[in-house]
Structure 1
Amino acid sequence: MRRRTLNLVLGLGLIAPVAGMLPLPALAEGVDLEKASAPRVLGNPDAKILITEYFSMTCPHCARFHTEVLPQLKEAFIDTGKIRLEMKDFPLDQWALRASAMARCLDGKRYFAMIDILMKKQEAWSRANDPYGALVKLGKLAGLSEAQVEACMNDEPLIDYILNERLTASRDLGITSTPSFMMNGRKLDGVFTFESFEEAISDAL
């Protein structure tokens, strides 16, 4: 699996050298991979409908979904217990991968709060002259130190986990772009607006 992961990384250009950012060792205690790889799900765990979102932290369409559509879905369907939403990483570039790793070092409400910040401020940090420094600042807002951000973004097992999940989604589910959505295991084509989600959910209910 490591060879396949490396090929994917090379294909995406995710390990191209970046000025000012060198691979750094993880913290002495390391990243807890079990916690970092746990499902990130919003909503009632017993909800009949599971929508899975495959997203990239640097994808403008993903940012639009998270800032414009998701709040409506949350109010109408997630907070009311009708659906649960699982977020899965599908990084499209190096900084999406690093941001995903940083976010996964947070759990519970802190994770979703970090995603909210990253999406709302996506253009600012992803297009910054120093994306790494910008991510460090955002990580600090969530209570991470710079050393913890560095450890998370360079933790090899966590990076492997994220890339292998991306590879599996692409190979087994035909996910090729972001955001992409599955509903109870079925791919939702052409569903992006709140109205289109509303229609698909109503049909499933």
Structure 2
Amino acid sequence: MSSSRTSRPRAVAIGAAVAAAAVLLGVVSYTATKPGDAGPPVSAEVSADPQAGVYPELAKLARRDAKDPLAQGRADAPVVMIEYADFKCGYCGKFARDTEPALVKKYVDEGTLRIEWRNFPIFGKESDAAARAAWAAGQQGRFWQFHAAAYAEGAKEKGFGDAQLRALAEEAGVKDLTRFGRDTGSDVAAEAVKKDQEEAYQLGATSTPSFLVNGRPIAGAQPAGTFTAAIEAAVRAAKAPKDPKDAKAGQ
């Protein structure tokens, strides 16, 4: 289903898009990452039609802020993947270690893809603390280094207490650790994390990781091929000539 052709008011279109995302990011996300499930994530279907399952109103959630320290890739990249994740989430760690690096090498480095991180702490106090610490590392330009350290094998098993978060910041190359501690505990950090978290909840996400690829919801740490297919479909859609008749029909 695509919301690109509709004569309904914009508010209704947004509601439909969010409802559709809620079905996938809520129900399927739970199935894909439910506690105690040792099996592989449930595959998210990606149609050959580049517009199938894409919701333009959700694509607008991409911030495309060139100064965003929690993003990587060109602000004007044709494809934006928004990732809602928690540092205590095992599947998020699997995606960060096994899938994301290849996507960065193949698509981010050559300008096709931009990845925008959203902190979505859902596993309690330490999840929230890690999210705020990651944000604080970002204020010194070391978010992705902190991200790598926090998602390294065995990192989450050590917990995310104050001492461990400081150790991760050191490993990530955060230079001013006093500022890091101050920023981690600040109201600004708390508000930034809350903003990301509320965005995810409004989409109906109930588990991590959850993604939007140019408005296409993907739930769970899916196989690399799922993300590749979604990105390639988004590229094709971005390159497709816009039909004036379609534009008129959508008015």
Question: What RMSD in Å do the two structures reach over aligned CA positions?
Answer: 2.5
Say whether residues 1:56 and 2:56 are aligned partners: no
Structure 1 or 2, whichever has the larger Rg, is 2
Moved over 6 A (4+): none
Query: What's 1:110 paired with?
Result: 142
Amino acid at match of 1:110: R
1:101-153 Cα distance to aligned partner (Å, 9 max, x none): 122123375211111111115x33x3337732111112223235553343233
Where does 1:61-72 land on structure 2 (aligned, <5 Å)? 61-72=91-102
For 2:49, the equivalent position in structure 1 comes to none
3-state SS, counterpart of residue 217 of structure 2: strand
2:56 maps to which residue?
none
Show structure 1 runs of 5+ residues with no match.
Answer: 1-36
> Would you say 1:46 and 2:65 are equivalent positions?
no
Instruction: Tell me which residue corresponds to 2:125.
Output: 94
Question: Contact 1:51/1:85 (CA < 8 Å) preserved in 2?
Answer: yes
| Closer/same/farther in 2, CA of residues 87 and 146 from structure 1, 3 Å limit | same
Query: Which structure 2 residues correspond to residues 1-205 of structure 1 after superposition, within 5 A?
Result: 38=68, 40-92=70-122, 93-107=124-138, 109-121=141-153, 123-124=154-155, 126-128=156-158, 131-141=161-171, 142-144=173-175, 146-171=177-202, 173-189=203-219, 192-205=222-235
TM-score where L is the length of structure 2:
0.59
Gaps of 5+ in 2: 1-66, 236-251
User: Could you tell me the percent identity over the aligned residues?
Assistant: 24
CA positional deviation for 1:177: 1.0
Q: TM-score, normalised by structure 1?
A: 0.72
Q: CA deviation at 1:39?
A: 5.7
Contact 1:56 1:96 (C-alpha < 8 Å) held by counterparts: yes
Contact 2:210 2:218 in 1 (8 A): yes
In 2, Cα distance between equivalents of 1:197 and 1:116: 20
Q: 1:139 to 1:80 in 2, by over 3 A?
A: same
**Within 1, Cα distance between the matches of 2:220 and 2:121?**
21
Residues 134 and 198 (structure 1), Cα distance of their counterparts in 2 relative to 1, 3 Å cut: same
